Amino acid sequence: MVLPTQVYPVIWYHDHVRLIDQTRLPNEYSVVEISRSDDMAVAIKTMIVRGAPAIGVAAAYGVYLGAREIKTDDRALFLSDLEEVAQKLRATRPTAVNLFWAIERMMKTARQTIGTVDQLRPVLLETAQAINAEDIETCQAIGDFGLQALPASPAKLRLLTHCNAGALATAGYGTALGVVRSAWRDDRLERVYADETRPRLQGAKLTAWECVQEGIPVTVITDSMAAHCMKLGMIDVVVVGADRIAANGDAANKIGTYTLALIAKAHNVPFYVAAPLSTVDFSLSDGGLIPIEERDPEEVYQVGGTRLCPVGVEFYNPAFDVTPATLITGIITELGVVKPAELVQFQEKQVG
Ligand code: MRU
């Protein structure tokens, strides 16, 4: 099955919220229908929907689904019940700030819209749909700005990425893979190298799947092969996504990103972080303050349902790490590409 368009919908609303089930790719393309806010919280937690911008969009729809479930006409009671829904959605995943950003935008809309509860509900749906649509435009702008920042030579680049910061991780087009898509469109790309991305293999499963959909040449490597590939001169640029960027430009992304930044520095390979401004948390001065999600150790000790390690071993499973700003060549946003220290110039322009 090949999807024909560059921007296939990842999340959309038609009576219910529909999501591509990312836990089943690449072997099965299936769409999940979600009609309750509780189910949306589960979908985010279990990574049916994942990737920072995508979980923001999903959570925004989750708030709307909650608004549909609350039966009272009393506005104050409605708002306090909606806050409980918001809290349940906030509790799903702690690192990606887009989740909190989108929920806050929904809650602010609920608080500030004048009118009855019946008038509020459609406004909340419109807001979730706006967040969804804006994210696609944002990613296209990131892709095009990123393209301009790519090294001028060679003419066709070999680009390494980590995890999946693609259409699947956003509302469409992707951030790091947005840069890939724009580079492919303009004939600036020779090949994508996709780190497999242990433990959940988003690179091997999702990034590779997206590239195959569009005929973009892709080579999957294990995470531990990246330094070797750089030493052999096989990589011209690294572009990754982010889950939360602090005001000083330190960037949290999928575990293993920090290692990649260190080895890119050691081999003089430019290292870019591509992310929308909704991923920047200007309230945090540096990356040490970013909460890092720890996930079930099962993700580390078993693969495809088969246990790899002996019983009695202990495990540590942080889902993200923080790359210091000093290792980042530039941050690619929808407003342009900046040095990490220059990110604060965009603070006033952050929507929400
Ligand atoms: O745990 P995941 O799969 O949600 O982690 C996703 C990432 O780390 C992505 O790189 C990040 O969210 C950016 S997505 C555009």
**Is 48 a pocket residue for ligand 1 (Cβ < 6 Å)?**
no
Distances (CA, A) of 352 to 69, 280, 349: 25, 12, 9
**Is 241 a pocket residue for ligand 1 (Cβ < 6 Å)?**
yes
Task: Quote the ligand 1 centre to 84 CA distance (angstroms).
Answer: 26
Domain boundaries, the chain: 11-138, 144-351
The architecture of the domain spanning 11-138 is Up-down Bundle (1.20)
**Is 199 a pocket residue for ligand 1 (Cβ < 6 Å)?**
no
| pLDDT at 93 (0 to 100) | 98
pLDDT tens, position by position, 188-222:
999 999 999 999 999 999 999 999 999 999 999 99
Strand segments (E) across 169-236: 189-195, 218-221
State residue 166 phi and psi, 5-degree precision: -110, -165
In this structure, the number of other CB atoms found within 10 A of the CB of residue 212 comes to 13
In the predicted structure, residue 352 carries a pLDDT above the cut 80: no
| pLDDT at 231 (0 to 100) | 98
Q: What is the mean pLDDT of residues 164-181?
A: 97
Q: What is the pTM of this model?
A: 0.96
Does residue 296 carry a catalytic annotation?
A: no
Task: Quote the ligand 1 centre to 100 CA distance (angstroms).
Answer: 15
**Is 197 a pocket residue for ligand 1 (Cβ < 6 Å)?**
no
Q: Which atom of ligand 1 is nearest to the CA of 176?
A: 15
DSSP code at position 339:
-
Residues 320/228, Cβ–Cβ less than 8 Å? no
Q: What is the mean pLDDT of residues 173-200?
A: 98
pLDDT tens, position by position, 216-273:
999 999 999 999 999 999 999 999 999 999 999 999 999 999 999 999 999 999 999 9
Q: How confident is the model at residue 2 (pLDDT cuts 50, 70, 90)?
A: very low
Phi-psi region of 202 (alpha: psi -120 to 50; beta: other; left: phi over 0): alpha
Q: How confident is the model at residue 4 (pLDDT cuts 50, 70, 90)?
A: very low
| pLDDT at 8 (0 to 100) | 66
Question: Considering only CA atoms, which residue is closest to atom 5 of ligand 1?
Answer: 51
Could you give the CA distance from residue 71 to residue 94 in angstroms, rounded to a whole number? 29
Task: Quote the ligand 1 centre to 281 CA distance (angstroms).
Answer: 16
Tokens representing 292? 């890092």
In this structure, the number of other CB atoms found within 10 A of the CB of residue 313 comes to 10
| pLDDT at 129 (0 to 100) | 97
Average pLDDT, the chain: 96
pLDDT tens, position by position, 104-129:
999 999 999 999 999 999 999 999 99
pLDDT tens, position by position, 46-80:
999 999 999 999 999 999 999 999 999 999 999 99
Could you give the CA distance from residue 4 to residue 20 in angstroms, rounded to a whole number? 16
Task: Quote the ligand 1 centre to 165 CA distance (angstroms).
Answer: 6
In the predicted structure, residue 5 carries a pLDDT above the cut 70: no
Q: Which of 3.20.20.70, 3.30.420.40, 3.40.50.10470, 3.40.1360.10 is the CATH number of 144-351?
A: 3.40.50.10470
| pLDDT at 9 (0 to 100) | 78
Q: What is the CA radius of gyration of the chain?
A: 20
Tokens representing 15? 């009576």
- In 3-state terms the chain splits into helix, strand, coil percentages (rounded to 5) of 45, 20, 35
**Is 202 a pocket residue for ligand 1 (Cβ < 6 Å)?**
yes
Q: What is the mean pLDDT of residues 1-25?
A: 79
